[in-house]
Structure 1
């Protein structure tokens, strides 16, 4: 039974305290007021029937309660995943538009995301969450927010636009507005609902804004008979608990579903890790990325087997749980049970919910995704990262959500490679009044020792940058007057691979012809052992390695009799 105690839900249950029960129940009741309308709204955002959002919410809460390591993290349908699900599923049902086929495809997508998460957890690939840098994530989310906003505006105003991309949706929206397609009653419900949510969230944050708006919208639809005025309603929901269903999809659907599942898994994991880290910091918990992947995988597995779709962590719902005193995942279980009771006892509760009200919920969520101040800060602080942000934004806006996430991940990885290919490098000098040796770009008046160049290369020396290192050292060796020693301040070099070792061998041979000696200072022991394993010590004698830069400078001074001079002609290398 030791394996059973290793399950996070079982472990939490054995340590449960009686005084937590009332707090978890109250928090679960408060959480349900947000889970129901958001679950339905995000299902429609994904192009699925509203009821699937409730099925998904129920099962993912139960799945994560059993296998999730976080005490209060809340999972569920998410506004950032909705467009990705729609972008994956809708093209596959374009020919017939069958909602049952759409549900089957979305459920299979959930199972694929679950499989990816669980396999990644077993392989300890939690670092995958770091594949999207913050600048590219800001650009991606801003593009996603704009895509959701433009896509939901027609629904908010009471009409539909058929388009495959953001440009087409914008053009269709303008045409419909010009043709007078707006339904006044629908627009009144949608716009007033959106304004009400935004005002309540700003002025009365403790009031459940979404629930208040939904309740008023249902009341207005019932009293004013809005359906007769052209306002679409949700209609009756199926009764009872969602049935266990193995999704039935065609074999030729699996490849496009897998492509979408990979993108959804990366975004879901990044959302989950960032949210769990933020809330764990407040409660003193430790975030375990691999266990989080297993928990999210279990939540997606449960949802996918009961007509649900992929899920992620929700910062807004977790914040509600935290503010209302949640102590454990029992809060989510209470929320799931209440939704089941609603479907069993009062399935017609939301039949008069206007569709524009759901659009208002989605648009309000999309506005919270956008981070315009973050983009402005990047512009002010670092233009290269701002350009990455803009590229990710443009990728989502012009190419679509799934290509956008691929672009975001690709740009993040390329940015890492760029820094490895062209790392910062500089010449060091001695500054009066400061210990050690310092960058002569920061201290242009630094002293230098005639015949000696101290060169620092701020990166591991690997295949991608070895030739850049070689070229910079050759440039230094070719200055006038020619240096006799080039001391590599190697403390930042955390690695030397075999390609770089071969480059070092050839570089040393070429420098020897010019009577320039290449030596190393502060080289880490593990890197030194690699150099020895490569056989480089046959070229580089032990007396070419010094424990400190100061030791290398002292050795050069003793060997040549050189003394410090002020105002050397040595110039810093061009920054990359």
Structure 2
């Protein structure tokens, strides 16, 4: 039924045989949701309990509005540093946790509103603003930022530094000053090794849960708190009430900037994960519905002391491997977290903070894409440089500035390709239909007096002079051509600036005794040419439906019976 939330539509055709699989998958998923939720909350500069509140609300909201049957939303390692970078500068020097939660909740509401409106307006293309090379660079920089930021916690102390270089300096200074807590380093380091080993060699075992349980056991057995190791402590009992966060008016502007960046990353992450898992299950990706769903999830989290969320590829993979069939898996996970908070809120009181740092560090390692970076270096140096620039943007300027750098670089890369597009002289290749680039076919044949030129981009203000320069270069060839034929099939647009340049170019060529001729110009572009009144200077008879027709007209007009000759001009 139209207008029915996707989760309700799924419920209408739910199969009884899915129930056991969904419940089991929900139990398995919860073992990952709890420690990661708390760890990513601390990564965002918030109390651990807010990660559990966020997990519950976003899972329930996505179960109602989410179009994917198994996609899992929740606190995310890629968003944590962005949330922290947005709210921490707004918090007073004493680091008031209540104010931090209020700011994060408003941030979630803003992200929810942005993504919800974008979904209603069907603006799914916004997620394409970051190209893959710049996203790889951004994620590599984010992984390094997270890793460095968690090292002090892993070593048992804290720093007040801002920025990657400052954090490295403060961490080194702390180690040099003897602030390291040996027990904390031991717990955290062993936790990292254990998670990585289990994920590598025994992927079906919940590595994070095993590490967390062992860390809690070690805490009780060795009294780690007496050895200087910080523990999570008792969590508040129950769920928070519906809350409208109270912040200052002057907080809205900086929160809005952060919300835009977070929404963009969240949408890109959601669409890419939805596409990957939909391809496995044969589902279609409904981008606008995904945006509405993630917006709803963020709104729900923001109204119950939560923070912005995104999809998680790792948690979705866990649910999939555990046999999840529908979003009932997420509902089961949410209910189990609620039961834990209501009945046993002290369950994780003895969890060492370095263990949470280990969870975050192992997650950050999964964000880095070394193989993708090497592939860019091997396949396309220009895109490798974009990747490195995005990486440096995050590492040196911070995560919020880094996302702006990534988006800016992606847009500039598109503009660069349109500004300096590929162009080629074409020739006839015996035995191959059509006309082809003489750089690819050095022995391609050309007709004396005729140059066939292809310009692979729309003609607009930024590249019109580049087009003009290339055509004039061809006009200065020896012997000079009589016709320069533009194979215009790739020219999808001509703006007014380009029209003026074409008019001037045609006059210049006419003075040299050269005709400017077009073939395969698309009908919408041809109508624009006529509307610009270019046919006042360019002969209306010099527009041909095909290159072959133009070549035949060239022979007829010039009266040439010359043969096609091999070799480039």
The answer (yes or no) to whether the contact 2:447–2:562 under 8 Å persists in 1 is yes
Q: How does 1:195-214 map to 2 (within 5 A)?
A: 195-214=193-212
Task: Tell me how large the CA RMSD over aligned residues is.
Answer: 1.3
Structure 2 CA distance for aligned equivalents of residues 20 and 530 of structure 1? 58
| Partner SS, residue 520 of structure 1 | strand
The partner residue of 1:382 within 380, 388, 391 is 380
Inter-partner Cα distance in structure 2 for 1:504 and 1:6 = 53
Establish whether residue 485 from structure 1 lines up as the match of residue 469 from structure 2: no
Q: Which residue of 1 aligns with 2:78?
A: 80
* Mapped partners of 1:502, 1:27: distance in 2: 64
Give the drift of 1:178.
2.0
Partner of 1:574: none
Quote the offset at 1:434 in angstroms.
Answer: 2.4
1:404 alignment partner, SS class = helix
1:352 match: 350
Cα distance per residue 1:462-486 (max 9 Å; x no partner): 2221121112112211222211100
Once structures 1 and 2 are overlaid, which stretch shifts more, 57-66 or 497-506? 497-506
Q: Does 1:564 align with 2:563?
A: yes
- Equivalent residue of 2:436, what SS? strand
Residue of structure 1 in register with 2:538 after alignment: 540
* Residues 1:118 and 2:116 aligned together: yes
> Residues of 2 paired with 1:82 and 1:248: CA distance?
22
Q: How does 1:8-407 map to 2 (within 5 A)?
A: 8-407=6-405
Residue pair 1:450, 1:568 contacting (<8 A) in 2 also: no
Question: Distance in 2 between the 1:319 and 1:343 partners?
Answer: 25
Which of 515, 520, 524 is the aligned partner of 1:517?
515
Say whether the 8 Å CA contact 1:447–1:564 is kept in structure 2. no
- Cα shift at 1:244: 1.0
User: What is the match of residue 442 of structure 2?
Assistant: 444
CA distance in 1, matches of 2:240, 2:364: 28
Secondary structure in structure 2 of the residue aligned to 1:244? coil
User: Which runs of no fewer than 5 residues in structure 2 stay unpaired?
Assistant: none
Question: In the aligned structure 2, how far is the partner of 1:288 from the partner of 1:474?
Answer: 48
Q: Whole-Å Cα distance in 2 between the matches of residues 225 and 96 of structure 1?
A: 29
What's the CA shift for 1:445?
2.6
Deviations 1:14-68 (A, max 9, x none): 1212221111111111100000000000000000000000000000001111111
Distance 2:506 2:479 in 1: 19
What SS is found at the alignment partner of 1:527? helix
How far has the Cα of 1:179 moved from its partner? 2.3
Structure 1 unaligned blocks of 5 or more = 571-576
**Using the alignment, how far apart are the partners of 1:39 and 1:434 within structure 2?**
60
Q: How does 1:493-508 map to 2 (within 5 A)?
A: 493-508=491-506
Measure how far apart 1:502 and its partner are: 2.2
Shift of 1:85: 0.3
- Of 359-368 and 462-471, deviating more is 462-471
Contact 2:448/2:565 (CA < 8 Å) preserved in 1? no
Whether the aligned pair in 2 keeps the contact of 1:426 and 1:456 (CA below 8 Å) is yes
Instruction: Answer yes or no: is the 8 Å Cα contact 2:39–2:356 preserved in 1.
Output: yes
Q: Which moved more, 1:160-169 or 1:343-352?
A: 160-169
What secondary structure sits across from 2:516 in the alignment?
strand
Q: In the alignment, which residue of structure 2 is the partner of 1:573?
A: none
**Deviation readout 1:309-352 (Å, 9 max, x if unpaired):** 00000000000111111111111011000000000000000000
> C-alpha offsets along residues 140-166 of structure 1, whole Å, 9 cap, x if unaligned?
000000000011011111111221111
Query: Do 1:450 and 1:562's aligned partners in 2 also have CA atoms closer than 8 Å?
Result: no
1:432 alignment partner in structure 2: 430
Q: Do the aligned partners of 1:449 and 1:562 also contact (CA within 8 Å) in 2?
A: no
Name the SS of the counterpart of 1:501 in structure 2: helix
CA contact (8 A) 1:108 1:247 kept: yes
**Offset at residue 449 of structure 1 (A):** 1.1
**Which moved further from structure 2: 330-339 or 489-498?**
489-498
TM-score (norm 2): 0.98
1: CA distance, partners of 2:299 / 2:343: 27
Which whole-Å CA distance do the structure 2 matches of 1:95 and 1:422 have between them? Answer: 50
Q: Distance in 2 between matches of 1:407 and 1:351?
A: 41
Out of 294-303 and 323-332, give the one that drifted further. Answer: 323-332
Q: Is the 8 A contact 2:82 2:399 kept in 1?
A: yes
Residue 129 of structure 1 and its aligned partner are, at CA, apart by 0.6
1:531-553 alpha-carbon deviations (Å, 9 max, x no partner): 22332234334421112212211
Distance 1:70 1:434 in 2: 47
Q: Deviations over 1:279-329 (max 9, x none)?
A: 000111111111111000000000000000000000000001111111111
SS at match of 1:48: coil
State the 1:569 CA deviation: 6.3
Give the distance between the partners of 2:241 and 2:44, measured in 1 at CA. 20
Paired residues, what number? 568
